[in-house]
Amino acid sequence: MTHKAYADSKRGATWSPIVLGDQVLLKNTNTTGKLAPNFEPEPYTVVAKEGHQVTVKSGEGAVYRRDSSFVKPCISPGDAEVVPEDIKVKDTDSSDPRPGELDCSRPKRNIKQPERFKDYDLGKP
């Protein structure tokens, strides 16, 4: 059992967050090409869950039993998006044409002049 725990921790294995009654999307196994969607567009309802096996039911009444890796939670458009804490909202400024824009830029490094050019004036203050 310790070998399995070690392998799971190295691979980052987690339990499926899906519970009974959740709306999920089922993986599209009938792909016809690389432009086909990965998941079916209609949501399914979780009817039963036994270990890693999930039983889902469609709106028309079709029942499917799949592994939990073939389903993912369905997020409806009405749900509010959560903004991570590390992303800050810019202060609104009168010169800023888009107030409230998220600041997602990466930090910039300070570029220093090479030591061999310290005696020369390269036109930078």
pLDDT digits 0-9 by tens, 5-55? 999 999 998 888 899 999 999 999 887 888 999 999 999 999 999 988 999
Is a pLDDT exceeding 80 seen at residue 77? no
pLDDT digits 0-9 by tens, 41-76? 999 999 999 988 999 999 999 999 999 999 999 887
CA 55 vs. chain centroid, Å, equals 24
Range(s) of the domain holding residue 46: 17-73
Q: Is residue 67 part of a domain?
A: yes
Other C-beta atoms closer than 10 Å to the C-beta of 27 total 16
- Which domain CATH number covers 67? 2.30.30.140
pLDDT digits 0-9 by tens, 89-124? 555 555 555 555 566 677 888 888 888 888 877 665
pTM score, whole prediction? 0.56
State the Cα angle at 83 between 98 and 41, rounded to 5°: 100
Number of domains in the chain: 1
